């Protein structure tokens, strides 16, 4: 589940909350899973991965990861991302464009303290996306950290990423592909909305 606090009162956020509650009511699994796409300047290619969105605080959307990861390097050099939800239970896709940065340390610390020790042990032990010779290396490092470390002490290389959307598209699937596509786009400080052809 996504923790939603003091949600922004602008129209796209109201629509998001409406659809989120509907999908939750329909028993949508993995409701907090988003696909995040970033651009690698080094490789000149787009890279995507699934992450778990943990918080929406006003207009700030937050997930957590390793700061030494490939995606973190992409975010640092090119801070524009694309985010995608798909909730099959209500046949809804939400596309978001946003700028991303590291979240406040206090948010990362508080979240880390509240996590299971097993998850924190992996966060501490993993050099995310580094090449290794075997999976056994992962298990050895994990077990060593799990048995010997303070598992509530957040490492500097792990924490939150925060993004603020400037574009939403709510895609509602309908019969015969007569799909409804409503867009909100931030123009300076004002949200404008329009519809797109299917």
* Segments making up each domain of the chain, as ranges: 3-114+157-196, 116-151
**Two structure tokens written together for 76:** 């640092």
CA distance 88 to 31: 10
- Could you please state the CATH topology (level 3) that the domain comprising 3-114+157-196 is classified under: Pnp Oxidase; Chain A (2.30.110)
| Rg of the chain, C-alpha, whole Å | 19
Widest distance between CA atoms in the chain: 58
Mean pLDDT of 33-62: 97
Residue 1 has pLDDT above 90, yes or no: no
Residue 74 token pair: 């992409």
Which stretches of the chain are assigned E, i.e. beta strand?
Answer: 3-5, 33-40, 45-52, 55-57, 60-66, 80-87, 92-102, 158-172, 180-187, 190-196
- Tokens 């299917």 map to which residue? 198
Does the structure show a pLDDT above 90 at 82?
yes
Neighbours of 27 (CB within 10 A): 8
Residue 27 in contact with residue 89, Cβ under 8 Å?
Answer: yes
| The overall pTM is greater than 0.85 | yes
Long-range contacts of 106-110 (CB under 8 A, 24+ apart): 107/55, 107/62, 107/160, 107/162, 108/64, 108/154, 108/158, 108/159, 108/160, 109/154
Name the band, by pLDDT with cuts 50, 70 and 90, for residue 8.
very high
The conformation of residue 88, written as its DSSP 8-state character, comes to G
Specify the 3-state DSSP secondary structure of 104: coil
Task: Identify the pLDDT of residue 131.
Answer: 93
Confidence of residue 10 (pLDDT cuts 50, 70, 90): very high
């Amino acid at each position: 589940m996504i923790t939603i606090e003091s949600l922004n009162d602008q129209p796209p956020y109201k629509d998001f909350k409406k659809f989120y509650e509907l999908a939750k009511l329909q028993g949508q699994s993995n409701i907090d899973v988003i696909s995040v796409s970033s651009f690698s300047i080094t490789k000149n290619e787009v890279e995507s991965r699934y992450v778990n969105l943990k918080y929406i605080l006003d207009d700030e959307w937050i997930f957590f990861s390793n700061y030494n990861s490939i995606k973190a390097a992409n975010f640092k050099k090119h801070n524009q991302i694309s985010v995608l939800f798909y909730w099959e239970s209500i046949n809804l896709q939400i596309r978001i464009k946003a700028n991303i940065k590291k979240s406040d340390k206090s948010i990362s610390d508080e979240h880390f303290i509240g996590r299971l020790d097993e998850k924190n042990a992996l966060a501490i032990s993993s050099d995310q996306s580094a090449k290794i010779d075997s999976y056994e290396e992962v298990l050895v490092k994990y077990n060593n950290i799990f048995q010997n470390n303070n598992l509530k002490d957040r490492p500097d290389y792990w924490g939150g990423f925060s993004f603020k959307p400037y574009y939403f598209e709510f895609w509602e699937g309908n019969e015969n592909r007569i799909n409804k596509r409503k867009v909100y786009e931030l123009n300076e400080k004002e949200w404008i909305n329009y519809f797109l052809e299917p």
